[in-house]
A and B are shown apart, each in its own frame.
Chain A
Amino acid sequence: MERIKSVLFKDKHQTRLFCAFALVLILMAILVPDKFFTVRNFQSMATQFPELGFLTIAAALVLITGGIDLSVCGTAVLSGIVAARIMDSNGSSEAGLGVVVGAVAAALLVGLCCGVLNAILVARFGIAPMLATLGTYNLYVGLGIVITEGSAISKFPETFLAIGNGKVLGIPVPALLFVLAIAILGWFLSRTKLGYKLFVFGTNSTASYYSGIHNTKVLFTTYVVGGIVCSLAGLIMFSRTNSAKADFGSSYGLQALLVALLGGVGASGGSGKASGLLLSIITLQFISSGFNLLHVSSFMKDLIWGALLVLIMVLNVVDFKKLRRKTKKAAA
């Protein structure tokens, strides 16, 4: 209990996020309890959020280094499309297990290569991460379009579709994969040497260089791991929808950044927690599913997400106690 308390309340941002989460739950309990709290609803939510969740993890890793990665979605799309193309030209929906395994491996490899290219541009050429990934985002999506020649690839084998649609003990596979990933991320950030180096580098890269930390290595690891995580998102995305198209989820890239920032990853680098990311993505999924059940325009979701981000940022910066004291003084 003490532990939970300390996790939730030591960090003000986390506390506010948790309040938002609780508020959404309570609202749902009052407004649509019979529709919201059903196994089916939870199953459908658990299938939907992981793809954005994986992109969020990748975006968060780069944010912690003090950079901004705009290319996460591009990496996901490109690696997913490479897998789709391999399956498509090797039997389409009739492709055997071997082909699927090969396609998935190729997708992960593409993700890795995308990460390496990002890292080369940032670490070797010294390009500001935002610009470098702005370029690679266009490049990756562009290559995706070239491979698909602008159209969609669909009809994947059953074994591949299981990644995005299968269930184990009633829990959708994407959710299981995501929870596993978050657990690994949490362990990585708070219990490993590399996690420590990531934070220290993100706080002050000059000082980490002068402390003997291999900055280039840290950057390469981050972008490569990020790239692989993105390719997982791509696989899940195309498996779930049974179709691969280059402009799929083009808004996901900025959304992933939004979720990560909302989850308490600092934009200036050097801070962030896995638990914050989990809380943030689940809260946002609850909001969009809730709106769906309430038959509110699905675009309301955008509005609320944006407002929530700005609101929490303002709360983090503005000290309202001080403000109140000031107004009281003025009144007296």
Chain B
Amino acid sequence: MGAPFLEIRNCSINFGGVKALQNVDFSIEAGQAYCLMGENGSGKSTLIKIISGVYTATSGEMILDGKHYTNITPKQAIEAGVQVIYQDFSVFPNLTVAENIAISGIMSGKKKTVDRKKMREVAAEALARINVDLPLDKRVEELPVAGKQLVAIARGIAQDAKLIIMDEPTTALTHKEILALYEIIDNLKKKGIALIFVSHKLEEVMQISERIAILRNGQKVLDDSIENFDVNSVAYYMTGREVPDVPYELVEVPEGTAPILELEGLTMKDKFEDITLSLYPKEVLGITGQLGCGRTELAQALFGIGEYTGTVKLNGEVVEIKTVQDALRLKIGYVPEDRLSEGLFLTRSLSDNLAAASIDDLADGIRLDYKKVEDTGRQWVEDLKIVIGDILDPASSLSGGNQQRIVLAKWLATNPRLLILNCPTVGVDVGSKSQIHEIVKDLARKGIGVIVISDDIGEVMSLCSRVLVMKKGRIVRQTNRTEMTVSQLEDYLTKEE
């Protein structure tokens, strides 16, 4: 092939003495799809910010479309055809689809006024180029997540993007939407657009990119064609060590064992219907299904959020869970999906974070002894081997994996009978992921009932002893892990009934 569209030579950047990137070389050709991988803090987002002009490299040079740059500005990068699609898509919820797509064109043009007709034409054309149909006059806030992403992609297209960088493009999409995205990506490649993906999900990386570059501690440790990899070797290069992936041992449930949790005909209007299941001691029950299948609503119903009908039995006793406080009293814990907005108090100390769910136990009447809160916190940090500076540091100072362990520990501190984990390892790097899995397995071994909700098929297969597949609010399949292969599970998930 011809000259690379983007070439980075010997690029380094320091932040106050910390070498975030060291002598990194990178190049990508038109029509090529690259995957950029690495654990949190490995420097991959720094590299992207250098390409898009947000950061200026301390040394090294960049050649973009044949032009040399030493410090490119964001505006120059956009003009040269670099478009970044961030994880949150950077759309404007209050504006229409048409305006969102055409916005960059409007803002960089010469005219001071806005021509709405032209705007709609630009938007329609961009959408046509990726073969999708969206209502141009709808406000973006009214679109589903996948729609927002399409708007972001169309915006890049409308800007004549030659290189599109996507940050974790699939985290919020359903399986079907992901397949549609792959198709669009193929289309873009055929049009000669270069693509860089940043992703944690190894399976998806394998499907969409031709080459992988792996960063570790600010250095590029590997850059090779995709065929030379498998899941284990990628994990090895990212962490620099072998990551054990030992599936949870299967425990035979002896006849007559009383289940920890039994659900009978659980129904929530428009969300899920007639859910019947039981969870036995020492079992990890996995619930999987596409986004919007009712899995999150089911988990939340057991945690007292939302109104349901049907019976819930906990250790054989019928219970009513109407509020979160009821759930807490019944010793049910819930690790939410979005740890930043739902799980953590970012500016508060780690000890405060750890105490949030068990505060009523820690307090002495209405009085609260903060020394006791701190000491209890330290104990949990030690028990779960969480890497922290000081117990009084804010939660924002930790990495994703350690933050997730703080949220887990918050619930363990309530001494739960039943713990529900909703996508426990989203956005967590490979190393921490397996450590979190080990913690969860340990809990199950101790007899705590564990339900894991996840759309990460690898995670479900390694962590759970039994798997339920949900579709359109119903449980459509229920099997032991051993009776199913990964590809079978994938089929169940994607097949239309």
Given the interface pairs A191-B368, A211-B357, A213-B359, the reply to whether A204 lies near B345 with Cβ below 8 Å is yes
**Which of chain B's residues have a CB closer than 8 A to the CB of A199?**
348, 352
Question: Restricting to B328-350, which residues have a CB under 8 Å from any CB of A?
Answer: 328, 334, 336, 341-348
Bin chain B's interface residue count.
20 to 34
Partner of B346, one of A192, A203, A212: A203
Asked if A211 and B367 make an inter-chain contact with CB atoms under 8 angstroms apart, the answer reads no
A190 CB-CB contact with B under 8 Å: yes
| Identity of the chain B residue whose Cβ is nearest the Cβ of A190 in the assembled complex | B370
Given contacts A200-B352, A212-B328, contact A192 B341 (CB under 8 A): no
Interface pair A195/B368, CB less than 8 Å apart: yes
Residues A192 and B352 in contact, CB atoms below 8 Å apart: no
Interface check B136, CB cutoff 8 A: no
Residue from A194, A196, A200, A271 having most chain B Cβ neighbours under 10 A: A196
Of chain B, the residue at the smallest CB distance from A213 is B356
* B356 & A211 in contact (Cβ 8 Å cutoff): yes
State in angstroms the CA–CA spacing of A214 and B344 once bound together: 16
The verdict on A9 contacting chain B, using a C-beta distance below 8 Å, is: no
Q: Which residue of A lies closest to B326 (CB)?
A: A212
Question: Size range of the interface on A?
Answer: 20 to 34
Q: In the assembled complex, which residues on chain A have CB atoms less than 8 Å from the CB atom of B355?
A: 196
A-side contacts of B391, CB under 8 Å: none
Q: Which of B328, B341, B342, B366 contacts A193 (CB 8 A)?
A: B366
> Which partner residue on chain B sits nearest A217 by CB separation?
B325
Is B430's CB within 8 Å of the partner chain A?
no
Q: Which of A190, A197, A203, A210 contacts B359 (CB 8 A)?
A: A197
Q: Are A203 and B345 in contact (CB under 8 A)?
A: yes
B325 contacts across to A, CB distance below 8 A? 212, 214
B366 engages A192 (CB within 8 Å): yes
Contacts of B357 in A (CB 8 A): 211-212
Which residue in chain B gives the minimum CB-CB distance to A212?
B328
Q: How far is the CB of A155 from chain B (nearest CB, A)?
A: 42
B312 proximity list for chain A (CB < 8 A): none
Question: Are B352 and A204 within 8 A (Cβ)?
Answer: no
Q: Does B327 contact A (CB under 8 A)?
A: yes
Which A residues are in CB contact (< 8 Å) with B356?
200, 207-208, 211-213
- A193:B360 contact, CB within 8 angstroms: yes
Cα A190 to Cα B352 with chains together (Å): 12
Q: Residues 389-410 of chain B: 1 if any A CB is under 8 Å from the residue's CB, otherwise 0? A: 0000000000000000000001
Contact: B359 with A192, CB < 8 Å?
A: no
Decide: B342 and A210 in contact? CB cutoff 8 A: yes
Q: B363 an interface residue at 8 Å Cβ cutoff? A: yes
Q: How far is the CA of A270 from the CA of B341 in the complex (A)?
A: 15
A207 is contacted by which of B327, B341, B366, B367 (Cβ under 8 Å)? B341
B324 touches A (CB below 8 Å)? yes
- Name the residue on B nearest A208 (C-beta): B356
Q: Is the interface of A mostly helix, strand, loop or mixed?
A: helix
A206 touches B (CB below 8 Å): yes
Asked whether, in the complex, the Cβ of B327 is within 8 Å of the Cβ of A212, the reply is yes
Given the complex of chains A and B, what is the CA–CA distance between A192 and B359 in angstroms? 10
| Contact indicator A194/B336 (Cβ below 8 Å) | no
Chain A residue nearest to B334 in the complex (CB): A210
Is there an interface contact between A270 and B347, defined as CB atoms closer than 8 Å? Answer: yes
Given A196-B359, A212-B324, A212-B327: A207 in contact with B368 (beta carbons within 8 A): no
Question: Does A37 touch B at the CB level, under 8 Å?
Answer: no
What is the CA–CA distance of A194 and B334 in the complex, to the nearest angstrom?
22
Interchain CA distance A209-B334 in the complex, whole Å: 11
Chain B min CB distance to A11 (Å) = 13
CB nearest neighbor in B for A195: B368
Give every chain A residue within 8 A of B373 (Cβ-Cβ).
196
B347 touches A203 (CB 8 A): yes
Bound: A206/B367 CA distance, A: 24
Which of A191, A199, A211 has most chain B Cβ within 10 Å? A211
| B110–chain A nearest beta-carbon distance, Å | 34
**Given the complex of chains A and B, what is the CA–CA distance between A200 and B348 in angstroms?**
8
Once bound together, how far apart are the Cα atoms of A206 and B324, in whole Å? 12
Kindly identify which residue among B341, B348, B366 contacts A206, using a CB–CB cutoff of 8 Å: B341
Which A residues, 209 to 230, have Cβ-Cβ distances below 8 Å to chain B? 209-214
With the chains together, A199 CA to B344 CA distance in Å? 13
The winner among B342, B344, B347, B355 for most chain A CB atoms within 10 A is B347
Name B352's closest neighbour in chain A (CB-CB): A200
Known contacts A193-B363, A193-B366, A193-B368; A210 and B345 CB within 8 A of each other:
no
CA distance A270 to B369 in the complex (A): 19
B residues within 8 A CB of A190?
370
The distance from the CB of A121 to the nearest CB of chain B, in whole angstroms, is 22
**Inter-chain contacts of B367 with A (CB < 8 A):** 191-193
How many angstroms from the CA of A271 to the CA of B343 in the assembled complex? 19
Contacts of A195 on B, CB cut-off 8 Å? 368
Cβ B344 vs Cβ A196 within 8 A:
no
B residues less than 8 Å from A206 (CB atoms): 341-342
Closest to A271 in B: B347
Tell me which of A193, A199, A270 has the highest count of chain B C-beta atoms within 10 A of its own C-beta.
A193
Interface code A102-146, partner B: CB below 8 Å = 1, 0 otherwise?
000000000000000000000000000000000000000000000
Instruction: Report the bound CA distance from A197 to B325 in whole Å.
Output: 14
A295 to chain B, nearest CB (A): 45
Q: In the complex the two chains form, is B344's CB within 8 Å of A204's CB?
A: yes
- Provide 20 A-B residue pairs closer than 8 Å at the C-beta atoms, listed in order of the A residue: A190-B370, A191-B368, A191-B370, A192-B366, A192-B368, A196-B352, A196-B373, A197-B359, A199-B348, A200-B345, A200-B348, A208-B345, A210-B336, A210-B343, A212-B327, A212-B357, A213-B356, A214-B324, A214-B325, A271-B347
Across the A-B interface, the 4 shortest Cβ-Cβ residue pairs: A212-B328, A211-B356, A193-B363, A203-B345
Interface residues in chain A, defined as those with a beta carbon under 8 Å from any beta carbon in chain B: 190-197, 199-200, 203-204, 206-214, 270-271
